[in-house]
Amino acid sequence: MLLPPIAAVSTPFGKGAIALVRVSGEGCMEIVERIFRTKSALRPRFAAYGEVVDPENGEVVDDGILTFFEGPNSYTGEDSFEITCHGGAIVTARVLRTCLKAGARMAEPGEFTRRAFAAGKLTLSTAEGIADLIDARTDEAARLSRRAASGALSKKLDALSESVLALATSLAAVMDYPDEGIEDVGGEKLAEEIARLTQELHRLMSTLSTSRAVTEGIPAYIVGRFNVGKSSFFNALVGEERAIVTNIPGTTRDMIEYPISAGRLLLRLTDTAGLRDGADAIEQIGIGKTREKLESAEGKVVFALFDSSEAPHAEDLEQIAYLQTLSAACRIVPVLTKCDLARVFDANLLAPFGKVFEISVEGSCDFSALFSHLEEEYIRDEDALLRGEVLMNVRQYDCVRRAHEALTRAAGFLTEEDNDLCMTLLEEALSALREADGREVAGMVADEIFKRFCVGK
């Protein structure tokens, strides 16, 4: 279906050396002829230097380079062109207006990629990978998103879909032609294949926590009694003085947040007001917020700090008991601070939480061992991460979960009398997997996904 031309600026508005204006849709060549004056012949995938002119009065708006992409060999699958002009909010807006005056309309957020998806140029998981790549905040997040954008997850989902389809096809043949001597796949062979696929789907589901730890970040809270070194630890991780450090108890009264790269993970680090009794009314509000955050959700990291140079205080013991109540839902990481001083604290008290880390903020801090420990906790399938075969968001997870659930139920209907039910469940699993990659996805779902993109993408 031919769609009307759309136009947008694909680079950020503002002052810069160059900007790029993109146009795509039916009638692109007519628009080019109205707004771009050049001595070169326009050929697909060749750049031509010339002038951008106002189609209404012929005024030269800017000079630049135009590249024409003939459909279907373009990003959107349609005829399209890109104008590289001078950067700057005013000149870029004027170039865009010439395109609109010549017959294009302003593109909606993600509309170029939406058209590419509709034209079969990319799958839904690939499109989501592109959006994640644009939003990446760490090197590892960019690498993972790039693998998704290049189709690594799409290929995995496609292989799983093909396996389920092969099962359904074989079972249908047995059901429709029972007297033709077709090998019966309703028994042991079918059970083995369903079990294998169920395990693969379960393994794929488990990768969501890894991708979220890399791309979205893990909530990480620093807790401990007053003057244990929470703000100093926070500043050392961040790499700059973000939190105020004093010897006065209760200096930190509210939560201070900052994202940091922790090896291959992203931590959404928060310095807290700590946990103590006897605080004034304002500090008590901060302590209440800390407890609320610690108790509200699973999967977070809690850096529990203890002063190695002092014997355990009553507040330390109370904190240990409190953290044990959270250990089922949180990853408690015990940290002994001020380790440049003589050791007094009994580290055996922290044994319930596993490995204890020792730090001193006097001089440079090496957090590599701490980051490696967190990577071991959150990156469970190293090979899948390297291949890019990981689920990137809850939508993909839900589709795979439904496929897993349907196959698990199908395993209970492997008798000849229940073949119809088994077939129905195999079809449900296939439909869910196709939805994960956009082969069977509702228009509203796709629209929400492409709204994540900027206008010019």
What residue ranges of the chain are covered by domains with CATH 3.40.50.300?
A: 213-378
User: What percent of the chain has pLDDT above 90?
Assistant: 44
Residues of the chain with CATH 3.30.1360.120: 6-107
pLDDT at 362 over 60: yes
d(CA 153, CA 388): 6
Query: Where are the domain boundaries for CATH 1.20.120.430 in the chain?
Result: 130-207+388-450
What CATH number was assigned to the domain covering residues 213-378?
Answer: 3.40.50.300
The lowest-confidence range among 137-146, 286-295, 385-394 is 286-295
Is the Cβ–Cβ distance between 436 and 125 less than 8 Å? yes
What band does 361 get if pLDDT is binned at 50, 70 and 90? confident
Distance between CA atoms of residues 35 and 33, nearest Å:
6
Contact yes or no for 279/287 (Cβ under 8 A): yes
Coil, helix or strand at residue 160: helix
Give helix then strand counts, H and E, for the chain: 16, 13
| Residue keyed to tokens 């096809």 | 169
CATH of domain 130-207+388-450: 1.20.120.430
| Higher pLDDT, residue 284 or 22 | 22
CATH number attached to the domain at 6-107: 3.30.1360.120
Confidence of residue 80 (pLDDT cuts 50, 70, 90): very high
Of 300, 369, 317, 373, nearest to 339 by C-alpha is 369
More reliable by pLDDT, 294 or 29: 29
Q: Is 438 exposed, middle or buried (0-12, 13-18, 19+ CB in 10 A)?
A: buried
More confident residue, 186 or 425: 425
